[in-house]
């Protein structure tokens, strides 16, 4: 992570529920390198690092007196860096999320978005999105490819279950998010993306997480809140828990930029399970065929939710906990493992890969759980080795003194 001296990064996975403790803190230092530095401001960045076109910014919240987000007239034609970061072109040859419903608990998802047409199931007022943020996240998950545009969602054949968990202008509440989670699960969502991150626990959120676990639905949540518009930088961010991401059983996701780092003043969670593209990423708007650029952990959660849909489609027999394990165990090794969508669907039980067109349902690659008895055995072995060494040292020392004295007194070994 990009941090100042003394700034403590978030710890790795907190585990995923009472029955699943993942223990990924042993993962190795960074392995993913950046293509180029992301320019400040609303500029789309191609996979080769070259700025392509200026795009309007997608906000998570609008002012109370603001008009709804208008359509964008700009389009990003080059492949976004985030596609290359998560190995999306290769993952698409194996899985595209067919048959999987993904809940988006956000500002709603516009049924007018062309690249989501026919694949949005709105619950209540979930099909109306004034802000556009929920549509942007849904596009990261499931936007269909269009001619002349390289951008598309991670799982373009998945179906979106849209629930609104905010006011019309984007302010969320724990009760609304909890209701949205339950509604998405009850509508058949097997993956549920949650964009909001609250500073306090609540019983309604906890119960909604338990409801999802009971129905084998994987919740993928932003590890920290999205940065507010025009926020004053915090010189000393202190790691803290945010909910529902901090609850056991929830896959919490942190945002990274094109360099694989975060700003020095970015909010920090105490724990995080995965990191994914979330700073300066390209997405769709609530209407029209243009694109926007956005930043925040909620967008990283969108990428991770899309990858979860790929896994649930490719391996329909896997439980939600197994999907979460697979996403983490196949990620790029780092302090917080970095999402690799291709490895998540291609890795096989024997360490090989699935080829395009191969039958689905292969076993997940085993996750090495921490063996606490190894430390005890190692300690006992070390003690025994040390004792044997000390005994040998004492014997040699005794012999060095005793033998010369014995010979001086006329001692000779007995003859046989």
Instruction: Retrieve residue 91's tokens.
Output: 């993952």
**225 CA to centre of own chain:** 14
**365 domain-assigned:** no
Mean pLDDT of 192-196: 98
Terminus-to-terminus CA distance in the chain, angstroms? 75
Q: How many domains does the chain have?
A: 2
* Closest to 335 measured CA to CA, from 277, 254, 263: 254
Residue (of 203, 199, 137, 208) closest to 177 by Cα position: 208
239 and 316 inside one domain: yes
pTM of the predicted structure, to 2 decimals: 0.76
Q: Is residue 212 part of a domain?
A: yes
Q: What CATH number is associated with residue 289?
A: 3.40.50.200
Is residue 219's pLDDT more than 80? yes
Number of C-beta neighbours around residue 171 at 10 A? 16
410 plus 294 within the same structural domain: no
Question: Is residue 22 assigned to a domain?
Answer: no
Please give the pLDDT value at position 93: 96
Q: How confident is the model at residue 228 (pLDDT cuts 50, 70, 90)?
A: confident
Examine the domain organization and report whether 285 and 339 are in the same domain: yes
pLDDT value of position 348: 74
Cα–Cα dist 374/103, whole Å: 41
Lowest-confidence region among 16-20, 73-77, 269-273, 354-358: 16-20
- Which positions ≥6 away from 94 have C-beta within 8 Å? 310, 314, 342, 345, 346, 354, 355, 356, 358
Specify the pLDDT at position 239: 94
Structure tokens at 271: 């724990």
Q: What is the DSSP letter of 355?
A: P
Question: Is residue 126, in this structure, part of any structural domain at all?
Answer: yes
In the chain, the percentage of residues whose pLDDT exceeds 90 is 63
Computed from CA positions of residues 13, 242, 107, 229, in that sequence, does the dihedral angle turn out positive or negative? Answer: negative
pLDDT at position 395 is 60
The three-state secondary structure class of 45 is: strand
Give the residue, 364 or 154, on which the prediction is more confident.
154
* Antiparallel, parallel or unpaired: β 279-284 and 291-295: antiparallel
User: Are 252 and 384 in a shared domain?
Assistant: no
pLDDT band at 367 (very low <50, low <70, confident <90, very high): very low
pLDDT the model gives residue 377:
43
Domain of 273 in residue numbering reads as 43-346
Nearest of 282, 283, 286 to residue 71 by alpha carbon: 286
Higher pLDDT, 177 or 234: 177
3-state secondary structure of 153: coil
Statement to judge: residues 326 and 265 lie in one domain: yes
pLDDT tens digits for range 388-402: 666 666 665 655 655
| Higher-pLDDT residue of 409, 33 | 409
Write the DSSP string, 242-281: -BTTTSTTEEEEEEE-TTS---TTS--BSB-SEEEE-EEE
Shared-domain flag, residues 267 and 388: no
Q: What is the DSSP letter of 168?
A: T
Same-domain check for residues 146 and 270: yes
CA 215 to chain centre: 21
- Say whether pLDDT at 337 is over 60: yes
**DSSP labels, 101-132:** EEEEEEB---TT-GGGTT-EEE-TTTT--SS-
Burial of 349 by CB count in 10 Å (0-12 exposed, 13-18 middle, 19+ buried)? exposed
Task: Answer with the one of 294, 327, 346 that is the final residue of a domain.
Answer: 346
Q: Mark residue 92 as left, alpha or beta (left: phi above 0; alpha: psi -120 to 50; beta: remaining).
A: alpha
- The reply to whether 256 falls in a domain is yes
In a domain, 15, yes or no: no
pLDDT tier at 78, thresholds 50, 70, 90: confident
Per-residue pLDDT of 145-175, as tens digits, reads 988 888 999 999 999 999 999 999 999 999 9
Peptide bond into 244 cis (omega under 30): yes
∠ CA 365-371-374, nearest 5°, is 135
């Amino acid at each position: 992570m990009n941090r100042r001296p003394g700034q403590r990064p978030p710890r790795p996975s907190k585990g995923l529920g009472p029955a699943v403790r993942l223990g990924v803190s042993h993962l190795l230092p960074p392995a993913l390198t950046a293509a180029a530095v992301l320019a400040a401001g609303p500029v789309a960045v191609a996979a080769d690092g070259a700025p392509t076109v200026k795009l309007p910014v997608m906000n998570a919240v609008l002012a109370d007196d603001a008009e709804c987000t208008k359509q964008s007239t700009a389009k990003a034609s080059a492949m976004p860096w985030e596609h290359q970061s998560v190995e999306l072109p290769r993952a698409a040859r194996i899985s595209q999320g067919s048959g999987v419903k993904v809940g988006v608990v956000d500002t709603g998802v516009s049924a007018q978005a062309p690249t989501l047409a026919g694949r949005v199931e709105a619950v209540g007022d979930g099909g109306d999105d004034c802000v556009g943020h929920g549509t942007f996240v849904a596009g990261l998950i499931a936007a269909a490819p269009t001619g002349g545009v390289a951008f598309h969602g991670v799982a373009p054949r998945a179906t979106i279950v849209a629930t609104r968990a905010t006011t019309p202008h984007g302010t969320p509440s724990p009760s609304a998010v909890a209701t949205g989670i339950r509604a998405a699960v009850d509508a058949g969502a097997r993956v549920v993306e949650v964009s909001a991150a609250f500073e306090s626990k609540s019983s309604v959120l906890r119960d909604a997480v338990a409801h999802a676990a009971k129905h084998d639905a994987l919740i993928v949540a932003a590890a920290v809140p999205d940065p507010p518009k025009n926020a004053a930088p915090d010189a000393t961010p202190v790691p803290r828990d945010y909910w529902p991401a901090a609850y056991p059983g929830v896959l919490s996701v942190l945002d990274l930029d094109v360099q694989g780092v975060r700003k020095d003043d970015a909010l920090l969670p105490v724990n995080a399970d995965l990191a994914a593209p979330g700073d300066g990423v390209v997405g769709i708007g609530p209407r029209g065929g243009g694109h926007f650029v956005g930043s925040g952990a909620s967008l990283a959660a969108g990428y991770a939710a899309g990858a979860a849909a790929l896994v649930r489609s490719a391996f329909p027999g896997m439980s939600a906990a197994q999907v979460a394990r697979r996403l983490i165990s196949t990620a790029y090794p780092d302090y917080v493992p970095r999402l690799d969508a291709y490895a998540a669907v291609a890795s096989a039980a024997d360490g090989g890969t699935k080829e395009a067109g191969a039958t689905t349902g292969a076993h997940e690659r085993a996750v090495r759980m921490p063996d606490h008895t190894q430390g005890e055995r190692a300690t006992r072995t070390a003690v025994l080795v040390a004792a044997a060494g000390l005994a040998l040292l004492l014997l040699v020392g005794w012999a060095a003194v005793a033998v010369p004295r014995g010979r001086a007194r006329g001692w000779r070994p007995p003859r046989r």
